[in-house]
Amino acid sequence: MSKPTVSDFLLSNPEISDLYQRATQSDFLSLAGQGQLPPDILSQWLSQDRLYAQAYVRFAGGLISRVQLPTRLNDRETTKSLEWRILTLIQTALAGVTRELQLFEEAAKKYGLDLEALGPVAEGNNLSNKSTVFGPNKVTQDYINLFDSFAAQPRGDASKTLLDGLVLLWTTEKVYLDSWTYAKQQASGNTDSKADLDGGALRKEFIPNWTSEEFVAFVDECRECLDAYAATQAEDTEEVIATGSMVLYKKVLVLEESFWPMVA
């Protein structure tokens, strides 16, 4: 029997199953899938997600700086190495978030959404707490700080490894996929978006983008690269790798639970 991979260990850990559910099955997502999310709340969330995506760009750059490509030629295998595969993955991630930032702007114009919507800043995403100046709320800022800790030197944290970055990359993308898949399932057979409160922005533009076959394949590749790279880290014990990965995994889930605005 093969040993469980890092991703298997994280996904199967019973201690955080409830946290994972809360991070991926919020009321916000339920209303989004039903087309019943008010446009002002969507604008507030989308504005923060745009700031998140901008920080993700720097994160991707930091991961690229940590990839050590093979220096010696090995017949036809050089460009097929795990390092090249990881580099290709990060390039795909960077291209994807770039397209997403463009999608935000295009959808905002098409559906009348505000990408600088004023929202909560001090207590998570509690909608009763409003800001008067646009910027990241507390949860978004925590995400930005986490991404920026992986930025290329000298800005980032040199102790953050490529393995740590791959854990963070896969976790954020996996949670995003599962969240919007849950939202999509809330439609209950109603695919007519004409009466949606947001004009169809979520169900016609965003949800299809974040549940597409291409995105599923990308998340799968994130997982495969993470597990393959973790298996090469012979200098670390399985316990060290698993423990460090769990810390990052749980941190993302805690942030993600609070990243969805409260709508009740």
In a domain, 85, yes or no: yes
- pLDDT of 244-253, one tens digit each? 899 999 999 9
Is residue 96 assigned to a domain?
yes
Nearest to 262 by CA among 41, 11, 110: 41
Domain that holds residue 191: 6-259
pLDDT 10s digit of each residue in the chain, 264 long? Answer: 567 789 999 999 888 999 999 999 999 999 999 999 999 999 999 999 999 999 999 999 999 999 998 877 665 555 578 999 999 999 999 999 999 999 999 999 999 999 999 765 434 444 445 556 889 999 999 999 999 999 876 676 778 899 999 999 999 999 999 999 999 999 876 667 778 999 999 999 999 999 999 999 999 999 999 999 999 886 655 666 777 899 999 999 999 999 999 886
List pLDDT tens digits, range 178-211.
Answer: 999 999 999 876 667 778 999 999 999 999 999 9
Q: Specify the CATH number for the domain of residue 69.
A: 1.20.910.10
Angle, vertex CA 51, rays to CA 40 and CA 129, nearest 5: 45
CA-angle at 41, arms to 40 and 44, nearest 5°: 90
The pLDDT of residue 86: 97
Q: Per the domain annotation, does 1 fall within a domain?
A: no
Q: In the prediction, which pLDDT does 124 show? A: 45
Q: Is residue 244 part of a domain?
A: yes
Q: How many angstroms separate the CA atoms of 64 and 156, rounded? A: 13
Residue 173 resides in a domain: yes
What's the domain count of the chain? 1
CA neighbor of 45 nearest in space, from 136, 131, 111: 136
Is 73 inside any structural domain?
yes
